Amino acid sequence: MPQQGKQLYEGKAKILYATDDPTLVIQYFKDDATAFNAQKKGTILDKGVCNNRISAALFAYLESKGVRTHFVKQLDERSMLVKKLEIVPLEVTIRNITAGGMSRMLGIEEGIMLKPPVFEWHYKSDALSDPLINDDHIIAMGWATAKELSAIRAESFKVNDALKAFFNDRQLDLVDFKLEFGRFQGSLLLGDEISPDTMRLWEHGTRNKLDKDRFRRDLGSVEEAYKEVLRRVLGESQVCR
């Protein structure tokens, strides 16, 4: 069992700690919530617990579908052991239904089905609010190679197919989500987290939002939404806080 070492990094929603194994780190999930590039700040009670458990379950599910991830195991309520990645400074977004940034950028209403799904690259930069970029920006800037981009793109669509089916079985529509990838011993692995902080989930039929938009847009019942997603991810038989 790797021992927790010094803090390596504190982000908006997570803290990374070293372990006595240089290839592994501990990812700790906080209750802190930010939106609109940290202009809005708050706390969502037990969000860290929900996101840790949801991410652990989704990483394990994706591994079972052949997606290689940084996930090693869940350690406790708020932390998981993960492989230490050299993060590629890109955020991938896949959109199945219009919402959020795409609706704003193009002036289109939310809730329109996108066929095929829309794939976006964003440059990971808080200072620049993660701008939308294309393959040429990435290759010209040396952030990743053309080969890496095609591997990440293919893997992201595999994740979309797997997660869409997973949530469909749980009466949730996967509207969109964000992924991050990193390099580990010569291969690319899916990193970061997969949680209601990083995806939009709408209840099938009612389109009730069960994700961070409840916090961003002051819709109320924020904690309940995270707990409901956890309940659906783990299944009815699992007790959650």
Pick the closer one to ligand C5P by CB: 18 or 195.
Answer: 195
47 binds ligand C5P (CB under 6 A): no
For the CB of residue 177, give the shortest distance to ligand C5P in the complex, in Å: 5
For the CB of residue 113, give the shortest distance to ligand C5P in the complex, in Å: 16
Tell me how far apart the alpha carbons of residues 4 and 129 are, in angstroms, rounded to a whole number. Answer: 32
Pick the closer one to ligand C5P by CB: 156 or 198.
Answer: 198
Pick the closer one to ligand C5P by CB: 18 or 213.
Answer: 213
Window of 63-71, 162-170, 192-200, 230-238 that interacts with ligand C5P by CB under 6 A? 192-200
121 binds ligand C5P (CB under 6 A): no
Buried b (16+ CB within 10 A) or exposed e, 103-117: beeeeeebeeeeeeb
Contact yes or no for 21/2 (Cβ under 8 A): yes
Residues in the chain: 241
For the CB of residue 239, give the shortest distance to ligand C5P in the complex, in Å: 27
Kindly give the interhelix angle for 222-234 and 47-64, rounded to the nearest 10 degrees.
30
212 binds ligand C5P (CB under 6 A): yes
Window of 15-23, 58-66, 156-164, 174-182 that interacts with ligand C5P by CB under 6 A? 174-182
β-strands 79-83, 71-76 pairing? antiparallel
Binding map of ligand C5P across residues 127-166, x = CB under 6 A, - = no contact: ---x------------------------------------
Pick the closer one to ligand C5P by CB: 2 or 101.
Answer: 101
50 binds ligand C5P (CB under 6 A): no
Window of 16-24, 107-115, 140-148, 173-181 that interacts with ligand C5P by CB under 6 A? 173-181
**In this chain, which of 176, 181, 226, 233 binds ligand C5P, going by CB under 6 A?**
176
Window of 48-56, 109-117, 197-205, 223-231 that interacts with ligand C5P by CB under 6 A? 197-205
Residues at the site binding ligand C5P, with contacts judged by CB under 6 A: 91, 93, 99-102, 130, 176-178, 198-200, 212
